[in-house]
Amino acid sequence: MATDWNAVSDDDFRQAFARLVEDCCPPELRFMRKQRPTFDEVAVFYHGLAEAGWLAPTWPVEHGGMGLGPAKHMIYVEEWGRLGGPRIPDHGIGLVGPLLIEHGTEEQKAFHLPRILSGEHVWCQGYSEPNAGSDLASLRTAAVRDGDAFVVNGQKIWTTLAHCANWIFVLVRTSRDEKVRQKGITVLLVDMRSPGVRVRPIANLRGETDFCEVFFDDVRVPAENVVGEIDQGWTVAKSVLGHERIFLGAPTRPEIAMERLEKLARARGAFDDPAFLSRYAKLRLDLYDLGSAFERHARILREGGELGADVSMLKIFTTELYQRITEETLALAGEDARLFDDIATGNDRVDAMNLFLDARAPAIFGGSNEIQRNILAKAVLRLPS
Partner 1 sequence: MPQLHFDDGDGTLEMLRDSVAALAAHHPGAASLRARREAGADMDRELWGAMAEAGWTGLMLSEALGGSGLGPREQAVLSEALGRALICEPVAGSAVFLSTLFNGAPDNAEGARLASGLADGSLIVARAWRNGTVQARADGDGFTLSGAVAHVDQAQGATDFLVMGQCEGGPAFFSVPAGISGLGLDLQRSVDGALLGTLRLDGCHVPATGLVIGPDICAPLLERAVAATRLALAAELAGIAAQALQATIDYTTTRIQFGKPIASFQAIQHRLVDMWSDAELAFAAVNNAVEEAEAGEGRAAALAILAAKARAGDAAVSICRRAVHLHGAMGFTDECDIGLFLKRAISLNAMLGQPEELRLAFVNLERAA
Does residue 277 interact with a copy of itself by CB under 8 A? yes
62 in Cβ contact with 97 (< 8 Å): no
345 counts as binding partner 1 under rule CB under 8 A: no
Q: Are 302 and 73 within 8 A, CB to CB? A: no
Determine the interface stretch with partner 1 among 56-64, 95-103, 243-251, 311-319 (rule: CB under 8 A): 311-319
Q: Given the rule CB under 8 A, which of 116-124, 169-177, 269-277, 287-295 is the region that contacts a copy of itself? A: 269-277
Instruction: Give per-residue burial for 171-196: e unless 16+ CB within 10 Å, then b.
Output: bbbbeeeeeeeebbbbbbbbebeeee
Would you say 253 and 362 are in contact if contact means Cβ atoms under 8 Å apart?
yes
Among 29, 250, 290, 350, binds partner 1 (CB under 8 A): 290
Q: Which does 273 bind (CB under 5 to 8 A by kind): a copy of itself, partner 1, none?
A: a copy of itself
Among candidate residues 220, 150, 160, 217, the one with its CA nearest the CA of residue 186: 150
Question: Using the rule CB under 8 A, which residue among 275, 338, 382, 385 binds a copy of itself?
Answer: 275
**Residue 216 class from Cβ within 10 Å (0-12 exposed, 13-18 middle, 19+ buried)?**
buried
Nearer to partner 1, 59 or 234 (CB): 234
Distance from C-alpha of 74 to C-alpha of 307, rounded to nearest angstrom: 13
Nearer to partner 1, 5 or 158 (CB): 158
Measured CA to CA, the distance from residue 266 to residue 71 in angstroms comes to: 36
Please tell me whether residue 35 binds partner 1 under the rule CB under 8 A: no
H/E element, 151: strand 149-160
383 is a contact residue toward partner 1 (CB under 8 A): yes
Binding mask 199-228 for partner 1 (x = CB under 8 A): ---xxxx-x---------------------
Please provide residue 194's backbone torsions phi and psi, each rounded to the nearest 5 degrees: -65, 145
Q: Among residues 78, 129, 178, 244, which one is catalytic?
A: 244
324 binds partner 1 (CB under 8 A): no
Select from 29, 333, 350, 355 the one that contacts partner 1 (CB under 8 A): 333
CA-based nearest residue to 16, from 46, 57, 44 = 57
Which residue among 278, 292, 347, 385 contacts a copy of itself (CB under 8 A)?
Answer: 278
Q: Is 249:318 a contact under the CB 8 Å cutoff?
A: yes
Q: Does 288 bind partner 1 (CB under 8 A)?
A: yes
Minimum distance from residue 229 beta carbon to partner 1 (Å): 26
What is the Cα–Cα distance from 57 to 99, expressed in whole angstroms? 15
Instruction: Write down the least CB distance from residue 25 to partner 1, Å.
Output: 29
Closer residue to partner 1 (CB): 92 or 367: 367
157 binds partner 1 (CB under 8 A): yes
Contact in structure between 349 and 342 (CB atoms under 8 Å): yes
> Under the criterion CB under 8 A, does residue 335 sit at the interface with partner 1?
yes
Residue 310 sits in the site that holds partner 1 (CB under 8 A): yes
Give CA–CA dist 385/383, Å, rounded: 7
Q: Pick from 208, 244, 262, 273: which binds a copy of itself (CB under 8 A)?
A: 273
Q: Which is nearer to partner 1, 85 or 249 (CB)?
A: 249
Beta bridge mates, 151: 144, 220
Among 44, 180, 241, 381, binds partner 1 (CB under 8 A): 381
Beta bridge partners of 214: 156, 199
Rounded CA separation 153/209 (Å)? 24
**Beta pairing partners, 155:** 215
208 labelled catalytic: no
> Quick one: which of 158, 150, 215, 161 has its CA closest to 189?
150
The H or E element spanning position 142 is strand 142-146
Residue 78 lies near a copy of itself (rule: CB under 8 A)? no
Residues at the contact surface with partner 1, assessed by CB under 8 A: 128, 131, 133-135, 138, 157-158, 202-205, 207, 271, 275, 277-278, 280-282, 284-285, 288-290, 292-293, 295-296, 310, 313, 316-317, 323, 327, 330-331, 333-341, 353, 356, 360-361, 363-365, 368, 370, 373-374, 376-377, 380-381, 383-385
* Catalytic (active-site) positions: 244
Residues at the contact surface with a copy of itself, assessed by CB under 8 A: 273-275, 277-279
